[in-house]
Each structure stands twice: as structure tokens, then as C-alpha cells.
Structure 1
Amino acid sequence: MVNRLFGISLAALLALSAFIPLAQAADAPTLNTGSTAWMVTAAVLVLFMCLPGLALFYGGLVRAKNMLSLFTQCFGIAGLVGVLWVIYGYSLVVDTTNMVEGEVSFNSFVGGLSRAFLAGMTSESLVGEIPEGVFVTFQMTFAIITPALIAGAFAERMKFSSALWFMAIWFTLVYAPVAHMVWGGAGALMHNWGVLDFAGGTAVHINAACLLLGKRKGYENTPMPAHNLSLTMVGAAMLWVGWFGFNVGSGGGLNGLSGIVMLNTQLGACAGILGWMFTEWLRVGKPSALGLASGALAGLVGITPACAYVGVGGALAIGLLCGVFCYLSVTVLKTRLGYDDSLDVFGLHGIGGMIGAVLTGVFCVPSLGGLVENVAMADQVIAQVKGVAFTTAYCFIASWIILRVLKAVVGLRAHDAVEEMGLDLGEHNERAYNH
């Protein structure tokens, strides 16, 4: 039973962004218009990843009768999480009251509410070299795309109302605390442990939705092919482009490291394509378009936590290995464990996130071309594994409890008749295509 939980486990905190500017802001920061312009662009790129990128990627993979439901979920999540972020989410992540480096307190796990409704922010407020309003918006886009990733795991069978309830509670109890633990600065739990995670990855995604929802009707004996791979390929390309905002933007501005982060991000994607493509070619005799797109995303997921800490060789190795092992997860592990992760969120984001997080500890050392000085590989790998293990356990337990409660109170799954006719018509009274 525990093994099957990983069907959708590890699937959505990958979007945790780097709150590095909070820890590195100067005593008297000054506005940098170049960095500000870039961060505005980066925020737009990350939003572009979700809308329309992720929506198209997911929408093309489901059956035609469920395409609009994916778009509706992505838009609904964007509206809901965007508002919650301003009301209290931002404060829960960035409030560092009563935190002391090396000491563990309640605020090591989650921030307070001193910044609720963006209290204290003015037109003159800066975070590092950029206006705080730009920083808030950039981080909001990460908070939006994170739960949107989860939607692919319960696609084609979860009620829209239940999905919104889940996302609101999950954002509050899982995303915000883990984002704070990873990027809250001195005194935050992962900071105390020495975990390296530049743009997200240690906080590997967790939810247990596919287990509690059960498999789609006819999953084991009815073919459920993607209805439009062209849309999926377009969505994957948009995700690739947007990922530069995701990773390079996590530095909070522009500096000498930005070029390394950009190059490593590109190499991770390229190597991921080759890893997935050649593995698929050897196993089934033909490479697929979906496989190449998935390989690019697997490599991007894997390089995300490592992009500021490893050299070119490390980026190539991480991307290649993520392509290989994410393919095996989607094709072999999923079959053996028997779970229905509709759009392979775990296989891509979960496995890729774990591999990338752990290998960050391997390839960050100078002897392998890494950029982190005075670090022992064994010690850093232990720290990375510790971070992954804790985040996995916390996110799984919290997600399981949330879903159990929602299942008992409002129900999770769409009615059989609705699932049969498709969620587009049954949940939203619309069709993507009129025949």
C-alpha cells in the first residue's frame, strides 16, 4: 500500500522558488532597473508556463471530452491561489520573525502573519534590487504553477469543486510551510540542514489524490490515448521557454551567475531529451514525439535545484539520468505498482525532482566541476537526502489527511455518469469541440 502511494506522491512543490533575495538584501538596497526589468519578464515567463503552457501540455494528453476541464482547473487555481497568496500566503513564506540560524523553533517550519495582505509594502519597498511588488508577483507565479502541476495526476475524474477545496488547503498547509522551510533564510529548517536548492526540487511534490480517487473508469482494459499530441508538443515547448524565467529569475536579479544558470538549464533539457529518446528507442524500437517532449521536461525538472551549483558536466549528467530514469518510472514503475497517475506527474516531476536534488550534492563539488567551495560530497549528499526524505514524508502525510477529510465531507470523485460523458460537459456544460 505504501508503495502505491507514490503513484501521485512527489508531484508539485517543484515550483518552490528561491527566496535568496530575502537573505542577501543589503542594509540599504538601491533599485536596479535592469534587474527589475528582467524580473518582470521572468514573472511573465513563469505565468506563461502555466497559462497556456501547462494547460496545453495536459489538455492535449487527456481525452477530448476532458480537455476543457484541465484548462478550467488551471485558470481556477490561478485565480484562487493568486488571491490567497496576497491575503496570507506571502506572509507565511517570508515572515522570518523569531528565527535564529542553527536553532529550531515554530517559525523554522512556517512564517507568521505579520505580512498578511502585504502589510508594510509601499511603492518604495525593495527586496534586494527590485521593487517588492515585482518580487511578490514573481513568487505568486510559482505558487500558482505548483498546485496546477498536481492537476495532471487526478485528471479526468476529480470534481472541480473538490479540486479547488484541495488546492486552497494544500497551498496553506503544504506549499507555504515547505517554501518557508526551504527558502526562509537563516533559521529555516532546510537552511539549518545545509540543503542546496536554487530554484526548487528538494521540495518534491506530494499528494495522494490518485490513490483516494481510484483509477479512471476502464483504465485497465480501455485504451485512453492522448487526443491531440500537437497541443501537447506546443505546451511542452512553452514550458521549456518559460523555464528560463523559472530558474534564472530565482536569483532575484541579474549577475555573473545568471549565465551559468541559463546554460545549465538549457543543457539539462537537451540531455534529458537524449536520455529519454535513446532509452525508449532501445526498449521499443522507435522514439516518440511525446517521449522527446517528456525528456526535455524531465531534464528541466532535474536541473532546477542544481542549476546554480553545478558545472556543465554536472548539468549534462543530471539531465541525461533524469531522462533515463523518468522514462523507466513512467513505463516500468507505474505498471508494476499499478497506480493511475493520469498524466505521469510523479514519473516526471517526482522522480526528476528527487534525482536532481540528490545529484546536486554529487556534482556541486569543485572536483567534478561544481561551484560550491569547501564542501564534502558525502556530507552534502546526506543533507540532500535528508531534505528530500523530510519533505516527502511531510507532504505525503499532510496531503493524505487533507484528501481524507475532503472525501468524507464533500467527496472527491465526479459521478460515474459525469466521468462517462466527460468532465467538460458534465462539470462545465461546455465542449472543446463541436461535432
Structure 2
Amino acid sequence: MRRRLILSTLAVVLVVVAVFGVSLVIVESRTIENSTQENVRSEAVRLVSTIESRVVAEERVSARSIGATPAHDRYIRIELPGRKPIEVGDRPGGGVVESQQTGSHGERVTVQAPRSAVRAEVGRNLLIILAVALLAIVAAAVLAVRQGHRVAAPLTDLAETAERLGSGDPRPRHRRYGVPELDRVADVLDASADRIGRMLTAERRLAADASHQLRTPLTALSMRLEEIIATADTDDPEERAVVKEEATIALAQVERLTDVVERLLTNSRDPRSGSAVTFDLDEVVKQQIEEWKPAYRGARRALVRSGKTGLRAVGTPGAVAQVLATLIENALMHGGGTVALRTRVAGNQVVVEVTDEGPGVDPELGSRVFERTVSGHNSTGLGLAVARDWAEADGGRLELLQQLPPVFALFLSREASDLHT
């Protein structure tokens, strides 16, 4: 493309130079010839007028007295009645430019200029025109090369950008080239890169969130199933009742696991989508305590609940349960002592606080514990970040109220009918 652009530009310049150059040579040749003819005629008229004035005054007429000085490109012949002709200069050979003027007393003046002088002048002007034309062609070639590079280089760069997008590298380059059409293409490619980047990020987050969030219910489910297996071979009615209860809890965990998967897939397509409803907060808190008590018993730790009861919140029960499960698991893995869930009311919101008696949150981390990949205990650093995302999806929020002892608080909107009680 660059070569074609350069060649086409040079072809246009050559055509323009040829057309205007030939026209200029023709016009200039005629102008020089006419100018020479006019100079010769003016010289003849001047000499005739001078001779007449001297004849009338009866003065002597000579080449010097009338100002007919010798010139290398002029030949002058003065003819007076009854006198020998006066000649000044050398008679030119070949073609000449001639002018004859006759006075009122019979005097005749002939002025000649060699046509070779005219051709020489035309040749000099032709050389000047050729030099200017050559300079114009060189300048056009330089400009064509620069313009070709200016157009071809951005196209090559845009092709590389498109190739990078196709190979899975969605980073926008944010390069502009000063050409509106090319800048428009660059804008479209950068916008496409941003969209592809967001899509890839959403897919990676989905994979990371799913791997992390599925681990929590699966861990609890495996522990429940282990207890069911341990008590399955028995004829004791009470033990069979325990088996039934454990199986019921395991089934609820499986259902919640299914809800987690569906919600992760929904959020991967549209993070703003939600299914907030009014639900009984006590039921969700109770379910979580029952679910995690075996794990805490195995760790010889306690999981207790306190605070206001009978609260109804607005949100997605499955998401709220998953957020609480993340906080409870976090306290089990990284905290210490008794873990307490406390429910309270704060204005038009209900709050669920989770606290433990462990070493607390590293002061260097602070609220950064909610950032992805940030963790103080060699974990994935996804749990709290995902929990905050889930809380915010239904209009709530997850905050770290206190670092030592650690207090995490889940804020949810209250049911409208509870605001006046």
C-alpha cells in the first residue's frame, strides 16, 4: 500500500509538472521573443526621432551624436539621403529580429538583434523551469514517502492490535494517529478491547468465585455426610432420628449449593441482576448456626447467637446465607475462641455482626481485607471480596467495624412494615 501511495502521488505530480511546465515554456518563449521585438522597435524609433531633431537643427549626424553605441547583440544601420550609410555593430548571421523606421526627411533606421540571443534566453529560462520542476518532484517524493509512512504505519499498527485481540490479549493501546478515519478505527478497537477485557475478567472472576464459594458448602456437606455414614448402621430410634436430621440438613446444603452455582452464573452475565425479597433473618442465622456447629464442636470451639430476634430483611436468602457462611468459616479458620453472631437494628437497616476472640485483623490490612488477592493468612484472598460483592448485589454492604477483636457486620435493608415498630 505504501508503494502504491508513493507511486500514485509521484504520477500526479509528474503530470501536473509536465502540463504546467510545457505551458510555461511556451508562454515564456513568446514573452521573450515579443520583448526582444519590442526592444528592437523602441531602439529604432528612438534613433529616428533623434536623427530628425538633429537634421532639423542642421547639426551633424554621427553614431556617437545620436547615441548609437555598439552592442554585442545589436546591429544598427542608418541611411541618410545623399550620405553614406552609418553602421554600428556586427551584422548578425542566421535568423534576426528586425525593425525598420523611416523619418519625415527620408532617413531610415534599421535595428537587428540575432535570434540566437532569444533562443539563449529561452534556454536559460527553460533550465530554471526544469530546476524548479525537479525540486518540486523531489519535494513531492519526500512528502509522498512521509505521507505513505503516516498512513501505512497506523494501518500496520491497527492490524497488530486486531491480531492481539484475536490472540487473547485485550489490553487497549490508546494510540491515536491524527487521521480522523484511522482514529475512529482505533476508538472502535479500544472499545472492543475494553469489552473483551471485561468479559474475560468476568469469566475469571466466575471461575475463582465458584471455586471458592463451592468449597464452603461442600466442606460442610462432607462433614454432614460423614456423620450420617457414622450413624447409619444402628437400630436405635434416636440415632435414626439424628440420621434423618443430618440428612435433612445435608439436603438443604445441597440446595444452597445449587443456588450458589445459579447465582454465580447469573452474576457472570449481569452483575447487577438480583432477586431480593423479604425474608426471615432469624431463619437464615439459625440455619447457619446449625450447619456450622459440628465443625466448631470438632474444633472444640463455640458458636453462639445473641441480639434482637424477629427481624425481617430485604435481600436474597441464599446470598445472605453464603455471606454469613464466609464470615463464620473465616472466624473458624483464622480466628479463635467463641464466635458470636449478634443481630441488631440500625435505623432503617438490620445488622448481623460476626465476632470472635482471635488475634484480629492485621493492622496493616485494615479494610483492604475486602480486596481480591489480599489475605493475611496464606489463603486465596477471595472469600471476603466475594462476600462483599454478594452483599452489595442486593443493596446491602459488608464492613469491618473493628479490627481487634474482629467485628464484621452485614448491613441489610429492613422490611418497610418493621420501620414503624
TM over 0.5: no
The structure where helix makes up a greater share of residues is: 1
Which of the five TM-score ranges fits, normalised by the shorter chain? under 0.3
Bigger relative contact order, structure 1 or 2, given CA contacts below 8 A and separation 6+? 1
The structure where strand makes up a greater share of residues is: 2
Larger Rg: 2
TM-score, normalised on structure 2? Answer: 0.24
